[in-house]
Structure 1
Amino acid sequence: MQTTTLSFENLHNHGELFANMLRARRELFIVHNKWDLPEALGMEYDQYDTPASRWVVVHDEFGQVLAGNRLTPTTARCGVYSYMIRDAQRGLLDTIPSDLLYEQAPVSDQVWESSRLFVAHNVPAGIRRRVHATLIAEIGRASRALGATSCLTLLAANWPRWAKRVNVDMKAMGPVMLIDGIENQVVSMNFASNLH
């Protein structure tokens, strides 16, 4: 099992890994979860997949994607868009309620957004926990390397069950909301204690 943090600067060094990650996102979010998301060439994408973002990918030695995540700075701007949680709060997204945070969405160099977090649907049950823990550990490492002390993320509301297993201090930042029949909640993952 390997981890790679992709950026527009290093995509060329990793062959099909970025495309494979977008294909894996499509397979899970569009095919399996039946979410209505943009797709092209068998890949899922949205307005936040820009050069400002990074993508953390857990994969095997052949480039098969096991898990992934997108990191976007909360300072990002692309037209009317910034980052998903803030744009939802601003009423720019129909699929996510605008009252998803207790406070105003942050705009800070030290806070990044973690979005499109997934473990591929075909990852065997016997290694899912290890794949998930590897993904979260790499998100922490990549976030710290980018200067972030925390990441905001919209997760299934069952996050308290696994937060300690992946050794990340997590805190609810908004109410539990029903989105597409699943209870979700915005959470802050604190990586400050791991900064050196």
Structure 2
Amino acid sequence: MQTTTLSFENLHNHGELFANMLRARRELFIERNKWDLPEAMGMEYDQYDTPASRWVVVHDELGEVLAGNRLTPTTARCGIYTYMIRDAQLGLLDTIPSNLLYEEAPVSETVWESSRLFVSQKVPLMQRRPIYFNLVQELAKAARNLGASQCLTLLNANWHLWNRRVGIDMTAMGPVMEIDGINNQVVSMNFAPNLH
């Protein structure tokens, strides 16, 4: 198992890995979850997959994607869009309630958003925990390397059951709300104590 952080600067060094990650996202989010998302050439994408973002991918030596995640700076702008959580709060996204945060969404060079976190459905249940652990550890490392002391993410509201196991300090940033039949909550992952 390998973990790679992709950017537009290094995509060319990793063959089909970026495309394979977008294919894995399509398989989960569009085919399995039936989300109405943009797709092309068998890949899922959205307005936040820009050169400003980074993608953390857990994969095998052949490039088969096991898990993934996207990191987007809260300072990003692409047309009317910034980052998913803030855009939802501003009412730009009709699939996520605008009252998802207790306070105004931050815009700061030290705060990034973590989104599109997934583990492939091809991964057997017994193998998911170490894959998820690797993904979160690499996400934390990538965020710190980008200068982030905090990441916001929209997670299943059961996050408090596993956050200590992956070694990340997490805090609720908004109320529990139902989205597509699942209880979700915006959470802050605090990396400041781990910054060197």
Overall identity of the aligned pairs, in %:
78
Matched, 1:36 2:17: no
Aligned to 2:95: 95
How far off is 1:43 after superposition? 0.3
Task: Measure the CA separation in 1 of the matches of 2:175 and 2:87.
Answer: 17
Aligned to 2:123: 123
Aligned to 1:138: 138
What aligned pairs does 1:181-192 form with structure 2 within 5 A after superposition? 181-192=181-192
TM-score by length of 1: 0.99
What aligned pairs does 1:16-165 form with structure 2 within 5 A after superposition? 16-165=16-165
Q: Secondary structure at the match of 1:13?
A: helix
Task: Extract unaligned runs of 5+ from structure 2.
Answer: none
How far off is 1:152 after superposition? 0.1
More deviation in 117-126 or 57-66? 117-126
How far off is 1:117 after superposition? 0.4
Q: Secondary structure at the match of 2:28?
A: helix
Aligned to 2:168: 168
What do you get for the CA RMSD once the two structures are aligned? 0.4
Per-residue deviation, residues 47-84 of structure 1 (Å, max 9, x unmatched): 00000000000000000000000000000000000000
Task: Give the AA of the match of 1:60.
Answer: D
Task: Measure the CA separation in 1 of the matches of 2:150 and 2:14.
Answer: 27
Task: Give the AA of the match of 2:176.
Answer: V
Q: Secondary structure at the match of 1:70?
A: strand
Task: Give the AA of the match of 1:97.
Answer: P
TM-score by length of 2: 0.99
Task: Give the AA of the match of 2:127.
Answer: I
Task: Give the AA of the match of 2:43.
Answer: M
Task: Measure the CA separation in 1 of the matches of 2:97 and 2:72.
Answer: 20
Task: Measure the CA separation in 2 of the matches of 1:79 and 1:34.
Answer: 27
Q: Secondary structure at the match of 2:167?
A: coil
Q: Secondary structure at the match of 1:164?
A: helix
